[in-house]
Each structure stands twice: as structure tokens, then as C-alpha cells.
Amino acid sequence: LSACLERHNGCNNRTSFRPERLIDLTGRNPRLRLESQLVENEYIEYATLSHCWGKPQTRSCQLTTLTLVDVMSVIPLEKLSKNFRDAIAICKELKIQYIWIDSLFIIQRDAADWAAESITMVNVYGGGILNISASGASDGSQGCFFDRKDMRRCQFPLKINKYKHVLYDSYLHCPLEARGWTLQERLLSPRAVHFTRTEVFWECNTQFVSESSPF
């Protein structure tokens, strides 16, 4: 992330856009912050999350007209799905103060709010500093991190079709890639980190690498 921010000119089209709602991760428990509560004209760095909602029983708490007031003061971590908790942990590790998550920022079952917020998706994902992609999770209960065997590095000659990107093809088989909105979210984000069941992939406008192929 630091290398991309510092050296990739093609990835750093900074925008002044700020989402109407963000989760503030300062303090023990996160809370919802409105754009009007932020310092006027201040540049805000925030992450976005791409995830599979899954079956209703695996979904996290959602923003509704009834919960709006409550989440303004505190969002209990125990009420969030593992996808959301892992994304928050990633943000804290990277010192990113804010995160945008669709089901916590668009008031569910409110047609007017959906109409107003859905048209800003281009700006929301395009303006984020990083898209966290829970690629290996088919629902909210699985999270971003998976138990896996240690990788063994080896070198051997390999010839492949020049039009076939082996790393990219393996990533495309992840559960998240079956979701229709994913393509839009990935293309709009200037940079993304994809957490799959086998390894972590980094993708930005300049580079596509993984743990097993870091160059």
C-alpha cells in the first residue's frame, strides 16, 4: 500500500469526494459518522469492503431507520459479521481511520435512501484509498483469514500462452467473483487487496501480484 501511494503515479488520482456515511474506527468500538460531522474540506482516507452477503442468517447488522440513531453512538463488534470484523482489523493494522460498508451505510428497505446513495457508488469506490475484498468468503460468517498450509517455494521452467494470466485466472474462481456487483467495485477501486483461501492478492492500476508471485 505504501509503495503504491508513494510511487505509482497511475494509481493516485486523489479525489475530494467524501461518502455521506462512514464508520469511524477510533476508540474501542466503531461508530457511524456523517459527512457533515467531519472537518470541512479535509481530505479523508477510507477503505471500502467487497463481500458476499450470503444467507440471511449469516448477515451482519444492517442500517435501518430504527438502528440509525443507535449506530451513531456505537456499533458493538459482537453484532458484526466476521467479514466486517476482519475488515476493521485490517484497517486498524494499516492505520486507516474510516471504512465504508454497503449494508451499514445504505438504509435497508428505504427506496429513497437507496436511490440517493446508489448513484454515488462510482465516487465511493473510486475515492477509497483501498478496497478490502473478502474474496474467499461465500457469506459473512467466514471472514478474510483462512487456515492454510505453508507454501513451499520452488523454481521450474514454465511456458504458458502469453494471453493467459495464471494468477488472475485462479483468483476469478473465488466465491466473491460470482457476485454481479464485484466487477464494478473492483474496476472502480484504485487499489485492492484480495483475501482468498490460498493466498493474498494485491491489485492496483499499476500492478497485480500475490504472496506466491510478489514481482
What's the rounded Cα separation, in Å, for the pair 191 and 205? 7
Per-residue pLDDT of the chain (215 residues; tens, 9 = 90+): 999 999 998 898 778 889 888 999 988 888 888 887 887 878 899 999 999 877 655 455 666 665 665 666 777 788 888 999 999 999 999 999 999 998 777 777 778 877 887 888 899 999 999 999 999 998 888 999 998 777 666 666 666 665 555 556 666 778 887 777 778 888 899 999 999 988 899 999 999 888 887 76
Q: How far is CA 80 from CA 60, 75, 84, 213, in A?
A: 5, 8, 6, 33
Q: Where are the domains of the chain?
A: 2-35+43-147+165-210
Query: How far apart, in Å, are the Cα atoms of 43 and each of 26, 39, 113, 171?
Result: 17, 9, 25, 33
Quickly tell me which residue has 493516485 as its cell: 12
- For residue 144, give the nearest of 184, 93, 71, 68 by alpha carbon: 93
Q: Which pTM was predicted?
A: 0.83
Check residue 169 and give its pLDDT.
62
What's residue 75's pLDDT?
Answer: 79
How much is the pLDDT for 64? 64
Query: What pLDDT was estimated at residue 58?
Result: 47
Asked whether 196 and 135 are in contact (CB, 8 A), the reply is yes
